[in-house]
Amino acid sequence: MLAPLTANAFLSASLLIVCGIFLVETNKLSYPSNVFPYLLVAVIALFAVVILGQAVIAKGRGGSGGEVRIGNPGRVATIVVTSLIYIAVVEEIGYYFTTGIYLLVLAAVLPPKEMPLRKKAFNAVILAIVVILLIFGVFDVALQVPTPKGMFF
């Protein structure tokens, strides 16, 4: 259990680290490809600062001294590890294949435990197919923006 200020500070620091990584990677892009990533970095950084500011102000005013619980650390760990693996292998294996597997794992982990396995599997497959087709339609077909190609498309 964490105090709200500690949890918000951790969240803000994590978001700012992600912003730093995105900023370094976005610097490799040229105009106009870099406009949206820069905007995204700015918005996320702003939210990170606002979250931290709200926590500090609430603490200064004698705000809630409650505790923040992490609901299911196993789920959180699975999501973090899966995301790190996804980032590490997406360029080598291929965007669509890796994203499909990533979505299948997340869609299997995120639903409540009470949901039947068959329904989880069905929902995961449908989600992965719909998202992959949507991304393909928008980026490869409509915008003609290349996605990372690897061993498998």
Each residue of 28-75: pLDDT tens digit?
A: 888 777 777 888 888 889 988 888 887 777 766 665 555 555 566 777
Residues 129 and 149 in one domain: yes
Residues 52 and 78 in one domain: no
Amino acid identity at 139: F
105-128: average pLDDT: 84
Residues 61 and 87 in one domain: no
Say whether pLDDT at 10 is over 60: yes
Q: How many Å apart are CA 100 and CA 113, to the nearest integer?
A: 22
Residues 89 and 56 in one domain: no
Structural domain harbouring 10: 1-69
Residues 77 and 53 in one domain: no
Q: How many Å apart are CA 142 and CA 67, to the nearest integer?
A: 47
Q: Of 54, 69, 84, which closes a domain?
A: 69
Give me the number of domains the chain comprises: 2
Residues 64 and 83 in one domain: no
Q: Give, as one character, the DSSP assignment of residue 110.
A: S
Residues 11 and 38 in one domain: yes
Residues 33 and 87 in one domain: no
Residues 109 and 81 in one domain: yes
Residues 86 and 150 in one domain: yes
Dihedral (CA of 90, 94, 95, 101) sign = negative
The mean predicted confidence, pLDDT, of the chain is 80
CB 30 within 8 A of CB 67: no
